[in-house]
Amino acid sequence: MTVPKNDVKIGAVSLGCSKNRVDTELMLGRLTEAGYSLTGDPSKADVIIVNTCGFIDDAKEESINTILEMAQYKNTGSLKALVVTGCLSGRYKGDLSKLLPEVDAFLGITAQNSICETVEKALEGKKTESYGEADIKGDYSGRVLTTPPHYAYIKIAEGCNRRCAYCAIPFIRGNLRSRDMEEIVTEAMTLVKRGVKELILVAQDTSKYGLDLYGKPMITELLKQLDSIEGVRMIRLLYCYPDGVTDELLDTINGSERIADYMDIPIQHTSTSVLRRMNRADDRDSIFAAIKKIRDRNPDFIIRSTVITGFPGETEEEFREMLEDIEKLEFDRLGCFAFSREEGTKAYSMEDQIPEEIREERKDEVMFLQQGISNRRNRRRIGKIYNVVVEDYLEDEDIYLARSFGETPEVDGSIAVKSSRPLEISGYYDVKILRADDYELLGEVVDE
């Protein structure tokens, strides 16, 4: 006898980046529209979807371990079908089914259009694999948000036209494919009506948004249209490359009270010789020029970046050059990855591969240096007042955790907030910064 869909509980695990999270939310939306129920308890799920990341070795290992962990619920829980989607599945088409017989279905990236059919077949005991090209178009209004109610990610484009020598993303997600601007604005309006206050724009390369549709980058125009939506409190721009930091973009950000004075600008290195081997579009001078342009307009602008240590051929001199430049650039936030040798990329077969031990040692050195820089940048904020959103309450410490424009959820630290009166989760308050350390700030609510 067929079990009614509303008696079938769906669980999901989303790994990797915020773009993956949007894909997961879209799949959950399709499934709820089809009548399925959702559960946050994997032990009670009849179907579990694992949306994987396959970007670097650590992410691939986490994905495999999560799949195996979820598969255990076939023995200890209610699990009848395990579905694997996302980058790892899409990257290793056909190979994972041999490695992971516990899995009932494999789908590629952005699998929302076929997820319902796949779940039905899996529940019938039919093993399936499907790897169509990611479709960026469609209705995003039915997403099931997995973020707190006050913010949501908006994926404005899929894929990337850049061919950085270390990156497998173009092989996994294809070339740049932008969403229609009108569709994005409509989605944003729908989210705001649902109570979302902060819109976080994501793509592999937000600075090139619209190039494929409109013949030129249109990120500035998109920001202007989103800025005109009534009810939006904040718009945040992530994954903007240095060559996308234009005067027009900065004028738009600085001219708006609702577009965050915050940008995530991945530079990956500062040595021009290393950047050339990486096949990056920028060099040391253009990186410094982009950061200077931002800081000249607004010294309090928050800049986040990432770098890679141990890229093939990276000499001790090139690494030391990057350390000196990081000290000069003074990023507010900096992430660092040890080079991961990825099959299919140009860097995989390059000569002069750096031993893993050295790659990791250099990563540790970068992060130790950044601790002091982050501390200095944070201390600049002492005495200033910021409008923050409260996201958690630590009862044992009688303290709230909050974010201002300067903190992106999930990747940056929090502002610890003291208050003599109860604060609402997802509520907005003015907070004065009293103390700062390497990654955290402490403030108190300014009484009205």
Q: pLDDT at position 422, please?
A: 95
| Parts of the chain belonging to CATH 3.80.30.20 | 151-379
| Parts of the chain belonging to CATH 3.40.50.12160 | 5-130
**Using H for helix, E for strand and C for coil, what is the string for 36-80?**
CEECCCHHHCCEEEEEECCCCHHHHHHHHHHHHHHHCHHHHCCCC
User: Distance (Å, rounded) from C-alpha 303 to C-alpha 153?
Assistant: 19
pTM of the model as a whole: 0.94
Answer whether CATH 2.40.50.140 is correct for domain 385-445.
yes
Enter the CATH code of domain 151-379. 3.80.30.20
Q: Per residue in 264-320, pLDDT tens? A: 999 999 999 999 999 999 999 999 999 999 999 999 999 999 999 999 999 999 999
Structure tokens given for 155: 């994926």
CA neighbor of 119 nearest in space, from 81, 87, 89? 81
Q: Per residue in 88-119, pLDDT tens? A: 888 887 788 888 999 999 988 867 788 999 99
Residue 1 has pLDDT above 60, yes or no: no
CATH topology of domain 5-130: Rossmann fold (3.40.50)
| Parts of the chain belonging to CATH 2.40.50.140 | 385-445
Q: pLDDT at position 2, please?
A: 58
List all residues 6 or more positions away from 247 whose beta carbon is below 8 Å from its beta carbon: 293
